[in-house]
Structure 1
């Protein structure tokens, strides 16, 4: 099965069931999970990413294009994650941030630099590879964070309220950019958010938990 398949994924804390999901997310599509704080949205992302706190218990499988990622160590899952904050490395240039994320299979500094610059161009940041991340605006940092995730060649995207700290205009621009890039790359996306406008912009199925 192509895309992301959540097969009986159940997450509990202290015996209380938080998440119970079986869903298919086709390539380029978005599944939005909504719910109040503490409902288990971020725990679901953590389970898929391989960094769920051991205080939680979880079972079920997640497969991407037939590969069971939940059976793999976190570093082998190749899951791209965007958080509320861009989390750019302050000691690296913009291009350096992207070059760090490139797969090891991309050899040679010149080729790695070319890939980084091409990715920046793809998010409207052409020619800004030499910049210090501290000199970027919030919207520019968000674009660089997206480019960094994409160059890592992920199997899927996990979005942990990545638009929540942007102003209204930037939020609309970033939603459009993120979802269009996911479609272009054929990446299944799991979005967690409090914002119904995010869910509507994603255009896919909406699941509410903890209500």
Structure 2
């Protein structure tokens, strides 16, 4: 049985290595403390997204990975994706088009037991108000701007109560002003909730805004 990581809190990447055929893409041994951000930078094809896929449990079988992932003292590498308690944000918000804005948030809350429909709706409306989208519960996601959709996607993710955030260039499709606002929002929410964050990006401005350590692949 593997020994636990030195510190039980946060996200620990324990001697993680990812290879594609004979090419080594990623070698990483780091712990991300609650509320901290580790930024991984590199060009396309360098293995950034593959690292996130490995942590979340979606790594393509074409890749070979070794090492372990620990979250708050639990080794999650062998768990199915739905049991790992990691939240993923992608370049596109990926809101459900057949659901209203509020229903998208309720989807995140569906994983939390012990709340009736009225309580869940109130929580969703509070979340929208918290990101400047009060009154948007019944809106069609297609009527929202890119920045507004990203805000909804973030709150849907946080309402599912993840133990860590994995960010796959979620700001890349936004203009500079919206990008800065959304970066500040995401990182401040992560700090508020004490979530370790792993950000992959090719943009040095993202890394600077994150404020934590940077690893280059």
Query: Could you tell me the TM-score, scaled by structure 1's length?
Result: 0.97
Deviations 1:135-179 (A, max 9, x none): 101110010000000000001000000000000000000000000
1:146 maps to which residue? 154
Contact 2:190 2:196 (C-alpha < 8 Å) held by counterparts? yes
C-alpha displacement of 1:120: 1.4
1:109 maps to which residue? 117
Spell out the pairing of 1:48-197 with structure 2 (5 A cutoff): 48-102=55-109, 103-197=111-205
**Mind listing any 5+ residue stretches in structure 1 that lack a counterpart?**
none
Equivalent position to 2:213, from 194, 205, 211: 205
Write the distance in 1 (CA, Å) between the matches of 2:112 and 2:199. 28
Write the distance in 1 (CA, Å) between the matches of 2:114 and 2:170. 28
1:23 equivalenced with 2:20 (yes/no): no
CA RMSD across the alignment: 0.9
Write the distance in 2 (CA, Å) between the matches of 1:187 and 1:159. 12
Write the distance in 2 (CA, Å) between the matches of 1:74 and 1:146. 19
**Aligned positions, number:** 209
2:3 maps to which residue? none
C-alpha displacement of 1:101: 1.3
Write the distance in 1 (CA, Å) between the matches of 2:92 and 2:160. 18
Structure 1 segments, 4+ long, off by >2 Å, are: none
Please give the secondary structure, in 1, of the residue aligned with 2:77. helix
User: Which segment is superposed worse, 64-73 or 74-83?
Assistant: 64-73
Distance 1:106 1:116, change over 3 A: farther
C-alpha displacement of 1:100: 0.8
